[in-house]
Amino acid sequence: MTFHVDSETGRLRRVILHRPGLELKRLTPTNKDELLFDDVLWVRRAQQEHDIFAGLLRYRGVAVHLFGDLLAESLAVPAARALVLDRVFDEREYGPLATDRLRAAFDELPAPELAEALIGGITKREFLERHPEPTSVRFHVMEPDGFLLHPLPNHLFTRDTSAWVYDGVAINAMRWPARQRESVHFEAVYGYHPLFAGERAGRFHLWSEGQGAHPSTIEGGDVLVIGNGAVLVGMSERTTPQAVELLARRLFAAGSARTIVALDMPKRRAFMHLDTVLTMVDGETFTQYAGLGMLRSYTIEPGSGAQELKVTDHPPEHMHRAIAAALGLGAIRVLTPTQDVHSAEREQWDDGCNVLAVEPGVVVAYDRTVTANTHLRRQGFEVLEIPGGELGRGRGGPRCMSCPVERDPVS
236-248 pLDDT, tens digit each:
999 999 999 999 9
Residue 370 has a pLDDT of: 86
| Core vs surface per residue 101-128: b (16+ CB within 10 A) or e | bbbebbeebebeebbbbbbbbbbbebbe
Same domain, 30 and 94: no
Residue 279 has a pLDDT of: 94
Residue 393 has a pLDDT of: 81
Same domain, 104 and 46: no
What pTM, to 2 d.p., does this model score?
0.94
289 pLDDT band (50/70/90 cuts)?
confident
Same domain, 50 and 99: no
Q: Active-site residues: which are they?
A: 400
Give mean pLDDT, residues 368-382.
90
CA angle in degrees (0–180, nearest 5) for 338-388-180 = 105
Residue 169 has a pLDDT of: 95
Same domain, 197 and 220: yes
Same domain, 131 and 206: no
Give mean pLDDT, residues 166-183.
92
Please determine, for residue 191, whether its predicted confidence score (pLDDT) is greater than 60: yes
The contacts of residue 185 (CB under 8 Å, 6+ apart) are 67, 71, 84, 118, 119, 155, 161
Average pLDDT, the chain: 91
Residue 168 has a pLDDT of: 95
Give mean pLDDT, residues 178-202.
88
Phi, psi (5° rounding) for residue 299? -90, 125
Residue 352 has a pLDDT of: 60
Question: Which CATH number fits the domain that encloses residue 304?
Answer: 3.75.10.10
Domain that holds residue 49: 4-65+153-407
Residue 346 has a pLDDT of: 53
Domain count, the chain: 2
Give mean pLDDT, residues 250-265.
96
Same domain, 115 and 245: no
Q: What's the sign of the alpha-carbon dihedral 169, 175, 179, 184?
A: positive
Structural contact between residues 233 and 261, judged by C-beta atoms closer than 8 angstroms: yes
Q: Which of 115, 149, 183 is the last residue of a domain?
A: 149
Residue 369 has a pLDDT of: 87
The contacts of residue 315 (CB under 8 Å, 6+ apart) are 296
Residues 43, 242: Cα–Cα separation, whole Å: 37
Q: Which of 118, 149, 180 is the last residue of a domain?
A: 149
42 pLDDT band (50/70/90 cuts)?
very high
